[in-house]
């Protein structure tokens, strides 16, 4: 089965990549450059795909930046908030309609290379601030994708009802090289350990009781302090 996977080089999509590859899918890992400030995720994606000998086309959507203004992930003028995802200020990391745009480009590419499936790694932990990670949204997109062409393309989203801890647990079973994946929205040399996605990543390892091999910045608070939610000065 030829399959286009929406592939960021992050933890979730890497844990999705491995079992699909092991199951014999002919994978095409579509990465998207949307002008994100954490561009290092694209380098991580390229490195992992090169090692696994998986083609990794990059869709350059950075020209859309002025049209999709207002997110701290694409604007250098808005600071990436620190703290838990559930907090109001993390909403600034929402890129308007990102998942629909990614899935529509992935579907177009699937039709172009005659792939019968696209896969993405949205999971239930994202819901609080990312409406386009919900299973209702995935179901609606699956239906639209099925109707978009006479050739049928199926949307697979096995993690849509999983937590990130479930994904870490599954990744550990599959011996996914977590340290090679990138999550941090700040895009420094090391994961900052204190932005929303770093906190989510660290808590997921903690909850899954899996050793977190990620090197974090020196001043990152401890996981225990993260959970207590009292780490900010």
Least distance in angstroms from the C-beta of 20 to a second copy: 20
Ordered alpha helix ranges (H), 95-230: 98-113, 135-147, 164-173, 196-208, 223-228
Rounded to a whole number of angstroms, the distance between the first and last alpha carbons of the chain is 51
Strand boundaries in 42-99, DSSP class E: 58-60
- Nearer to a second copy by Cβ, of 69 and 228: the residue is 69
- Nearer to a second copy by Cβ, of 24 and 66: the residue is 66
Q: How many CB atoms lie within 10 A of CB 75?
A: 17
- Nearer to a second copy by Cβ, of 143 and 225: the residue is 143
Least distance in angstroms from the C-beta of 116 to a second copy: 14
Least distance in angstroms from the C-beta of 63 to a second copy: 4
- Nearer to a second copy by Cβ, of 104 and 217: the residue is 104
CA 154 centroid distance within chain = 20
d(CA 173, CA 196): 25
Least distance in angstroms from the C-beta of 193 to a second copy: 28
- Nearer to a second copy by Cβ, of 17 and 138: the residue is 138
Residues that bind a second copy (CB under 8 A): 30, 57, 59-64, 66-70, 95-101, 103-105, 107-109, 111-112, 131-132, 134, 136-137, 140-141, 143-150
Least distance in angstroms from the C-beta of 157 to a second copy: 13
């Amino acid at each position: 089965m030829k399959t286009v996977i929406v592939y960021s080089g992050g933890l979730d999509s890497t844990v999705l990549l491995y079992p699909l590859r092991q199951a014999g899918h002919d994978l095409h890992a579509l990465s998207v450059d949307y002008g994100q400030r954490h561009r290092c995720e694209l380098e991580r994606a390229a490195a992992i795909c090169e090692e696994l000998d998986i083609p990794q086309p990059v869709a350059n959507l950075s020209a859309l930046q002025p049209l999709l203004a207002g997110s701290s992930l694409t604007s250098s003028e808005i600071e990436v908030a620190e703290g838990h995802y559930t907090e109001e200020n993390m909403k600034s990391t929402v890129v308007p309609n990102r998942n629909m745009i990614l899935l529509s480009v992935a579907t177009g590419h699937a039709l172009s290379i005659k792939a019968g499936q696209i896969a993405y790694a949205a999971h239930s932990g994202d819901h609080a601030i990312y409406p386009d990670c919900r299973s209702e949204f995935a179901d609606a997109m699956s239906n639209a994708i099925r109707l978009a062409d006479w050739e049928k393309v199926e949307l697979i989203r096995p993690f849509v009802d999983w937590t990130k801890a479930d994904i870490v647990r599954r990744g550990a079973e599959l011996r996914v090289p977590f340290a090679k994946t990138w999550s941090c929205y700040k895009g420094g040399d090391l994961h900052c350990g204190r932005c929303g996605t770093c906190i989510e990543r660290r808590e997921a390892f903690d909850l899954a009781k899996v050793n977190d091999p990620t090197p974090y910045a020196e001043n990152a608070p401890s996981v225990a302090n993260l959970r207590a939610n009292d780490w900010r000065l």
